[in-house]
Amino acid sequence: MTSQKVVCLGAGIVGGCTQVVFASKCKTHDFYVVDIDEERIKGWNNFKPNYYEPGLNKLLKTCLNKNLFFTTDFENTLKDATLIFLSVGTPTKQRGEMKGIGTNLSYIESCCRMIAKYAKNEKVIVIEKSTVPVGTAQKITNFLQEYNKNETENEKENENETTKENKKKQKQIVVLSNPEFLAEGTAIKNLQHPDRVLIGGPNTEFGKYAQEQLKQLYKGWVPEEKIFFSNTWSTELSKLTSNAMLAQRVSSINSISQICEEIGAEVTQVSKNMGSDPRIGSRFLNASVGFGGSCFEKDILNLIYLCEHYHLYVVAKYWKSVLELNNHQKLRFAKNIADTMFQNLENKKITILGFTFKKNTDDVRGSAAIDVCNYLLGEGAILSIYDPKAKPKHIKLSLKGYNENQLIICDSVSNAVIDSHALVVLTEWDEFTQIDLSKCYQKMIHPSYIFDGRNIINRKSAQKIGFNIYSVGFPK
Ligand code: NAD
Ligand code: UGA
C-alpha cells in the first residue's frame, strides 16, 4: 500500500493516544495531529503531553517527528489529507434547548468547517473518533456535501471552464464511524490490544473503499476477526450503549452494596459469587463511591436524549435510573461521613486520599471526589487532599464555595493525615493499599475513622489498630 497522510483533529487524550499508537504501528503512514490549543501542541512537541497516561511518553519518543507530527497549522495539514479523524470533545450542552442532556457539537462543527475549507484532496474520508450522537455522521456528510456543492458552483461561475474540468474537481466525501473504546489509565494497552475495532459506513462504492482504507490502518496489529463492519447507525449506537452498559453494571453493584450494608452481607463476596458465572462475568463489579470520568454520564445523557426524541420514555427512564443511582451513591457516602462523626464536620480536618476519577490517570473530570468533597466543604470540614497525580490547580478549580483555609493540598499521605479525624479513600491508587495505618493512627485525632469508597483498605487490620472503618457494601 502506498504511504498516506493521516490527519487527526484534536490532540486530547483520544486524539493524542490513538495517533501515537497508530504511528508506532504503521510506519508506512505519516500522522499529523492538529489542535487549536497551542500550549497542548507545544507540550506534545516537547515530549511532555499535558496529561498522564502510563506508557505514553515512552512510545511518543519512538515516533515523534519521525512519522508523527503535532501542529496548529490546519491549512497546510489538511490540504492534501485523505483520512481525517475527528477526536475533539463532545461535552453535554450547558445552555439552550436540551441543556444538561443534549450534546454540544460546536467542536465537531468547527472541525467540519476547517475540513470544508482546507481539505483539497479529491477523496476525503472523515472518521468519527469522538463519541457523538447517533446520526452525526449523516449531519457531517450533509454539511460537507452542501459546502462542496456551493464551492463547485462558485468555481463554475467564476472560471467559466469546461464541465469536464469541473467534474474532475468535484470532491468525493464520505464519513465513517470508528468509535474509541480506550479507558484512561490503560489507554496505550487498550489501543495496542483492542477487544474490537468498529467501522461503520455507507454501503456505496466510495463508502466501501473508505472502510477498506481505514481497515488497512489497523491491519498491521489488529487481527482481522476483531475488525467489525456495520452500518453507521449501528456503530454510533454501539459506542453509546457500550458505555451505558458498563455504567449500568457499576450502578447495579452499587445498588447491591446498599442492600449488603443493611443485611450484613459483604459486597466483595457477592460480586465474586455472581461474577464467577461466565454469563455475568467478574469485571466492572467493584462497588465504589460512584463512577466518574468525562464520558459515562455524558454518554448516558446522550442515550436518554435519543430515547426521548423517539418518545421512548420508559427506556429513557431506565437509563436515567443508572445516573440517579450513581448520584445517590456519592451523596449517601458523603452523608454517612457526617452522620458517623457526630453529625458535625465544622472545622474538622478530613484527609482525602485520591481525587482522580480512577487510578493511573491525572484526570479529575467528573470524579466522584468532586461531589463528596463539595459536600464535606459545605458542612464546614477542612480537607487535606493527597492524590499522586491530580494537578492541584485542577482540584481547586473543580471544587466550589469554600474558604481558602478549608483546603490543603498535600504531597504525601503522611503529611495529609496529621491531626485529621478521618481518612476518606476516593480513588483506588495502588499506593493506598500499602499505607502504614498504624503510623497514620498515631498522627490522627481519636476516635479516628476510615471511610473506604474503593474497598482497598484491610478492614481487620484497621480495626485492630483502633480505627472505626466503613467500607462500601459492608455491614456498618
Ligand atoms: P479532550 O478534552 O482531552 O481533548 C479534546 C481536544 O480537542 C482538546 O485538545 C481541544 O483543544 C481540541 N479541539 C477543540 N476544538 C478543536 C478544533 N476545532 N480543532 C482541533 N482541535 C480542537 O477530549 P478527549 O477525552 O480526548 O475526548 C475526545 C472525544 O473522544 C470525546 O468525544 C469523548 O467522548 C471521546 N472518548 C473519550 C475517551 C476518554 O477516555 N477520554 C475514550 C473514548 C472516547
Ligand atoms: C470508559 C470505558 O471503560 C471505555 O471503554 C470508554 O472508551 C471510555 O469510558 C470513554 O468513552 O470515555 P474510563 O471512563 O476511562 O473508560 O474508565 P473506566 O475504567 O470505565 O471507569 C469509569 C468509572 O467507573 C471510574 O470512576 C471507575 O472508578 C468506575 N468503576 C469502574 C467502578 O466504580 N467500579 C468498577 O467495577 C469499574
Q: Which atom of ligand 1 is nearest to the CA of 363?
A: 41
- State the greatest distance between any 2 C-alpha atoms of the chain, in Å, as a whole number: 89
End-to-end distance of the chain based on CA atoms, in angstroms?
63
Give the model confidence (pLDDT) of 172-183 as tens digits.
999 999 999 999
Ligand 1 mutation pick, 14, 78, 126, 246, max ligand atoms within 8 A of CB = 14
Give the model confidence (pLDDT) of 369-408 as tens digits.
999 999 999 999 999 999 999 999 999 999 999 999 999 9
Half-sphere exposure of residue 225: CA atoms within 13 angstroms, side-chain side: 0
**What pLDDT is recorded for position 409?**
98
Ligand nearest to the CA of 253: 2
Ligand nearest to the CA of 186: 2
Q: Which atom of ligand 2 is nearest to the CA of 131?
A: 11
Provide the annotated active-site residues: 295
CB 184 near ligand 2, within 6 Å: yes
CB 286 near ligand 2, within 6 Å: yes
| Rounded Cα distance, 294 and 443, in Å | 36
Residue nearest ligand 2's atom 5 by CA: 181
**What pLDDT is recorded for position 150?**
76
Residues with CB under 6 A from ligand 1: 9-15, 34-37, 40, 87-90, 107, 110-111, 130-131, 180, 182, 184, 294-295
- Residues 196 and 222: beta-carbon distance below 8 Å: no
The residues pairing with 125 across neighbouring beta strands, listed in sequence order, are 83, 174
Ligand nearest to the CA of 298: 1
Residue 304, C-beta contacts closer than 8 angstroms, at least 6 positions apart: 101, 316, 319, 320
The pLDDT confidence band at residue 165, using thresholds 50, 70 and 90, is low
Taking the CB of residue 138, how many other CB atoms lie within 10 A of it? 14
Of 165, 221, 227, which is closest to residue 198 (Cα–Cα)?
227
Q: Which atom of ligand 2 is nearest to the CA of 288?
A: 33
- Residues 11 and 38: beta-carbon distance below 8 Å: no
- Residues 177 and 199: beta-carbon distance below 8 Å: yes
Ligand 2 center–CA 154 separation, angstroms: 48
- Residues 29 and 6: beta-carbon distance below 8 Å: yes
User: Own/partner pairs for 100-104, CB < 8 Å, 24+ apart?
Assistant: 100/301, 101/301, 101/304, 101/305, 101/308, 102/133, 102/301, 102/302, 102/305, 103/132, 103/133, 103/298, 103/302, 103/305
CB 398 near ligand 2, within 6 Å: no
Ligand nearest to the CA of 354: 2
Ligand 1 mutation pick, 21, 35, 128, max ligand atoms within 8 A of CB = 35
CB 295 near ligand 2, within 6 Å: yes
- Residues 401 and 361: beta-carbon distance below 8 Å: no
Report, as an integer, the average pLDDT of 447-462.
Answer: 98
**What pLDDT is recorded for position 149?**
79
CB 180 near ligand 2, within 6 Å: yes
pTM of the model: 0.96
The pLDDT confidence band at residue 1, using thresholds 50, 70 and 90, is very low
**How high is the ipTM of this complex?**
0.99
**What pLDDT is recorded for position 312?**
98
Q: Is the peptide bond before 447 cis (omega within 30 degrees of 0)?
A: yes
The pLDDT confidence band at residue 4, using thresholds 50, 70 and 90, is confident
Q: What is the 3-state secondary structure (H, E, C) of 219-270?
A: HCCCCHHHEEEECHHHHHHHHHHHHHHHHHHHHHHHHHHHHHHHHCCCHHHH
CB 320 near ligand 2, within 6 Å: no
Residue nearest ligand 2's atom 7 by CA: 181
Residue 239, C-beta contacts closer than 8 angstroms, at least 6 positions apart: 131, 177, 179, 180, 181, 198, 299
Q: Is the pLDDT of residue 157 over 90?
A: no
**What pLDDT is recorded for position 166?**
52
Q: Which atom of ligand 1 is nearest to the CA of 129?
A: 30
CB 201 near ligand 2, within 6 Å: no
Residue nearest ligand 1's atom 9 by CA: 12
Ligand 1 mutation pick, 36, 88, 356, max ligand atoms within 8 A of CB = 88
Residue nearest ligand 1's atom 1 by CA: 12
Ligand 1 center–CA 350 separation, angstroms: 34
Share of the chain above pLDDT 70, in %: 96
Report, as an integer, the average pLDDT of 229-240.
Answer: 98
